[in-house]
Chains A and B, each alone.
Chain A
Amino acid sequence: MGRAELTWNALDQNDPFPCIMVEVMNSSDVIESWRALGLHCPEPRAITALIDTGAAATVISKTFANYCKLFQTGEGSVFTTLAGLAVCGEHAGAISFPGTNLRPINSLRIVSANFVKERFYSCLIGRDILRNWRITFDGRQRLITIED
Chain B
Amino acid sequence: MAAGLFSNELRVFQEHRDEWLRTKAGKFVVIQDSVVAEGFFDTYSEALKAGLQAFGVDHNFLVKQVWTTEPVYYLA
Check B63–A90 contact: CB distance below 8 A.
yes
Report the separation of the CA atoms of residues A106 and B73 in the bound assembly, to the nearest whole angstrom: 22
Check A76–B10 contact: CB distance below 8 A.
yes
Binary per-residue interface labels of chain A (57-100) against chain B in the complex, 1 for a CB within 8 Å, 0 otherwise: 10100000000000111111111111001100110100000000
| Complex partner residue of A34 from B44, B57, B74, CB under 8 angstroms | B57
Q: CB of B62 within 8 A of chain A? A: yes
| Chain A: CB-nearest residue to B73 | A56
Check B6–A79 contact: CB distance below 8 A.
no
Report the separation of the CA atoms of residues A7 and B66 in the bound assembly, to the nearest whole angstrom: 41
With A72-B5, A73-B61, A90-B63 as contacts: A81 and B48 at CB distance below 8 Å? no
Binary per-residue interface labels of chain A (111-148) against chain B in the complex, 1 for a CB within 8 Å, 0 otherwise: 10100000000001010000000000000000000000
Interface centre among B48, B58, B70 (most CB of A within 10 A): B48
Check A76–B52 contact: CB distance below 8 A.
no
Q: CB of B75 within 8 A of chain A? A: yes
Check A79–B72 contact: CB distance below 8 A.
yes
Check B75–A124 contact: CB distance below 8 A.
yes
With A30-B52, A108-B44, A108-B45 as contacts: A71 and B74 at CB distance below 8 Å? no
Interface residues of B (CB under 8 A from A): 4-6, 10, 44-45, 48-49, 51-52, 56-58, 60-64, 70-76
